[in-house]
């Protein structure tokens, strides 16, 4: 059985908070654009102080708190140095 390893790529993502129209620009490494969007929304949710339960409650009611405005593979694939 051969294990296939997916390479993580850098993504530039813009997330919009729908309640006030604020845009958040992030760059992160992920396997694909769907994972990148999910991680970015989770980071923005944490940054603004919204609890996971509040976020899940809004989604259950059909209320969207965030929207992915753009998600593209970054031209610069270099990793930050520590």
The token pair at 20 is 């006030």
The reply to whether 79 falls in a domain is no
The reply to whether 81 falls in a domain is no
pLDDT of residue 41: 92
The CATH number of whichever domain residue 22 belongs to comes to 3.10.20
pTM of the model: 0.78
Number of domains forming the structure of the chain: 1
pLDDT of residue 78: 76
The 10s digit of each residue's pLDDT in 28-81 is 999 999 999 999 999 999 999 999 999 999 989 999 899 999 999 988 887 766
Edge to edge, the sheet with strand 23-30 lists: 23-30, 9-17, 66-73
> Could you tell me which residues come within 8 angstroms of residue 11 by beta carbon, excluding any fewer than 6 positions away?
27, 28, 29, 30, 33, 36, 40, 71, 72, 73, 74
Quote the DSSP letter at residue 14.
E
Q: Containing domain of residue 49, as a range?
A: 9-73
């Amino acid at each position: 059985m051969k294990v296939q390893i997916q390479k993580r790529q850098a993504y530039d993502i813009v997330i919009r908070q729908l309640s006030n129209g604020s845009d958040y620009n992030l760059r992160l490494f992920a396997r694909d654009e769907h994972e990148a969007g999910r991680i970015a929304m989770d980071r923005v949710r944490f940054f603004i102080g919204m609890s996971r339960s509040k976020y899940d409650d809004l989604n259950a009611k059909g209320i969207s708190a965030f929207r992915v405005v753009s998600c593209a593979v970054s031209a610069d694939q270099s990793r930050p140095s520590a």
